[in-house]
Amino acid sequence: METRIENINFLNRHKKIWQPLYWVFATLILFFVFSSRTYDLNIRIVVVLTLATMSFFLTLVINKYLIPNFLFARRYSLFLYLLVFAISITIWIIFLCLFLILWYTASYFHGTALPSFTDLILLISGSYLITLFASIVHFVKETFTKQMEHERISQQKVETELKLKEAQLKLLQGQLQPHFLFNMLNNLYGLWMERSDETPEVILKLSALLDYMLYECNQEKVPLKKEVQFIRNYIDLETIRFDNRLKLNINFPDSIDNQTIAPLILFSFVENAFKHGANRNSGESNISISLISINKSIDFMVVNNYFTLSDSTSTGIGLKNVEERLNLLYRNKHKLIITTENNQFIVSLHLEIE
């Protein structure tokens, strides 16, 4: 496309050169091809120059006014009407000019050989063929230019949308990381307040999780097995905080193929389950997490206890975040269903991945 645009730009830059050349060449064609040598040379020159001038102005009206304002605006009926009107006016002016030229020549230059009616019709036809050719060339060039401009604008629009999408994703991911860190620091603070012996282990696991989030998650896609391992580590970290009140049912495949996925897409649902479904001040908590990976699609489900009080005070950053990221990254390639029934919060995600 860049080569075609450069060609159009070349023609536009040298328009002041090739347009005069065209009309000089067109005038010579009228003189040598469409005019007959049977009548006087001086008459031939005057008649040809008159017709070439009328062709030039008619072409100017068509190319500069009728084509851009009516043909390109899809006002076809009005374009045809004005075109016929312009041609009719020029025909009337041409015959008037030729009549005056021939009358003046016959009156003051007796014995001069004058062109016949057939000669004049041939010349007039040639002048309109030159106008037709010039208008067609202009129409094709302008159409091509508009098409290139449309493609350029479309490409810029796509590039702008991609940059905006990338900025949105970075913003959403940037929101998610502080959100996760805030929750984990709260957990760490709670363990420290209890003087738990598991605090050092929590710090080490938290360090591993942060390493994944800060370095691995900067990529557009990560291996699915790394995302699953990250979730496993997170689950191990969270289970330290709970005693036998937490009932876990984890069903992950033993081996995962080389699929890739956007980082932290699945994790947000797991984090939400522990945050709201395994509240330390509640009774027995149940969390079920399952992942099925088949070819280029996965089915992910998270089920946890639903506590109205805890969820009513939540800002819901995690779930809103992941829903927006799914719409940006997997538009028309995912199906997310979130329901609550029988005091259970159920998340079901079907995702087409690479």
Side chain identity, residue 36: S
pLDDT tens track for 218-230: 777 888 888 898 8
Residue 15 has pLDDT above 80, yes or no: no
Tell me if 134 sits within 8 A of 59, measured CB to CB. yes
Name the strand (E) or helix (H) holding 299: strand 297-305
Q: What per-residue confidence (pLDDT) applies to 19?
A: 85
Mean pLDDT over the full length of the chain:
81
DSSP state of 115: P
Q: Which residues of 251-261 are buried (b: 16+ CB within 10 A; e: fewer)?
A: ebeeebeebbb
Q: How confident is the model at residue 259 (pLDDT cuts 50, 70, 90)?
A: confident
Side chain identity, residue 45: I
Residue 168 has pLDDT above 60, yes or no: no
Q: What per-residue confidence (pLDDT) applies to 318?
A: 64
Residue 134 has pLDDT above 80, yes or no: yes
Residue 181 has pLDDT above 70, yes or no: no
Model-wide pTM > 0.85: no
CA dihedral 146, 152, 155, 159 (to 10 degrees): -140
Q: Residue 269's CB: how many other CB atoms inside 10 A?
A: 23
Cα radius of gyration (the chain): 40
Residue 175 has pLDDT above 70, yes or no: no
Identity of the highest mean pLDDT range in 125-134, 183-192, 271-280: 125-134
Nearest Cα neighbor of 78 from 89, 63, 66 is 66
Q: What per-residue confidence (pLDDT) applies to 77?
A: 94
Q: How confident is the model at residue 309 (pLDDT cuts 50, 70, 90)?
A: very low
Mean pLDDT (whole number) for 258-274: 84
Tell me if 345 sits within 8 A of 292, measured CB to CB. no
Mean pLDDT (whole number) for 253-262: 83
Residue whose structure tokens are 């591993």 = 208
Q: What per-residue confidence (pLDDT) applies to 296?
A: 83
Between 11-15, 207-211, 223-227, 240-244, the lowest mean confidence (pLDDT) is in 11-15
Mean pLDDT (whole number) for 296-302: 91
pLDDT tens track for 36-66: 888 899 999 999 999 999 999 999 999 999 9
What are the chain's domains? 2-157 (no CATH), 196-352 (3.30.565.10)
CA distance 159 to 38: 66
